[in-house]
Amino acid sequence: MLIAQITDLHIGTGNDIGAEDNYHRLLAVFETLSKLKRKPDVYIATGDLTEIGSVAAYKLLKQMIDEVNPGVPVLPCLGNHDVTENFKKVFGKTHIHEGFCQYSVDLGDVWLVVTDTHDETIHGGAFDEARADFLDRAIEEANGRPVLLAMHHPPFVTGIDWMGARNYEEPWLVQVRDVIKRHNNVKKIICGHIHRTMDRPFAGSSCIVSSATAAQVHLELAAITSSTADGRPLIVDEPPGFALHWWDGREFVTHHGVAGDFDVILEYHDRFRNVMRDVFHVPE
């Protein structure tokens, strides 16, 4: 199974939401993925689907999904820029349970669980007892099968303090961690929010953050304060990114990619077939 993760789309930032940069960056990601010989079986969009949560932006996103990926499911997760009520007006209530965008999907060998870590009033992550209970039950429903858990905010301290959690004892981090530690079948946790690629062990599992389809956050781990503006870059125009999570039957292997047209250095033509067979031991 091949699962494509897109995150932090931020559709709807300009007056003409059909011509804005983030719209074209997302189209570039879809185009890059469509050119793969092995195409994704499903997409997971891990939050910040829109910039301001407007109905118009959700309508545009739905139109893009319907036109660019016909027949391929795109499963949503909400982030701090999203507005649940407006999301429901366009995408319906299928993925909304107990007031939050949280649900599970049977993907065959893998059980997908999407949990909601957003609060429309704050930039950082949020969680509570009700969401913790839903997450606990959703993982239990896998009946021991491998679980892929998707959420918007990384449940750990990333080192980019102005974007993420600063303290491992933040209550919402503790709640997420406690639920996951109760289970041994959460194989991978996938997140967005930081607009950079990173990974780390978490609660007995493995957690990765994908780069955004929108612009990226500058890679800088030096401490930052609100009292001194030191001139550092904050947002940079790096290429739109995505992640591919390949389930090999035992574990997830995650690949990170960027969208765009790049010069081809070597192509696989007939004259290279013997090299593939004799050097790289590719089967006939």
pLDDT score for 121: 87
pLDDT score for 62: 95
Averaged pLDDT, groups of 10, the chain, 284 residues long: 97 81 95 95 97 94 90 94 96 94 96 95 92 97 96 96 90 95 96 97 96 97 93 96 97 96 90 82 86
pLDDT score for 14: 75
**Cβ within 8 Å of residue 81, ≥6 positions away:** 10, 47, 48, 49, 50, 51, 52, 53
pTM value?
0.95
pLDDT score for 15: 72
* Alpha-carbon separation of residue 153 from 12, 72, 125, 189, 225 (angstroms): 21, 25, 6, 11, 22
pLDDT score for 270: 86
* Alpha-carbon separation of residue 125 from 46, 61, 69 (angstroms): 13, 24, 30
Residue range 131-172, pLDDT digits in tens: 999 999 999 999 999 999 999 999 999 999 999 888 989 999
pLDDT score for 271: 86
pLDDT score for 48: 97
**CA 53 – CA 73 distance, rounded (Å):** 21
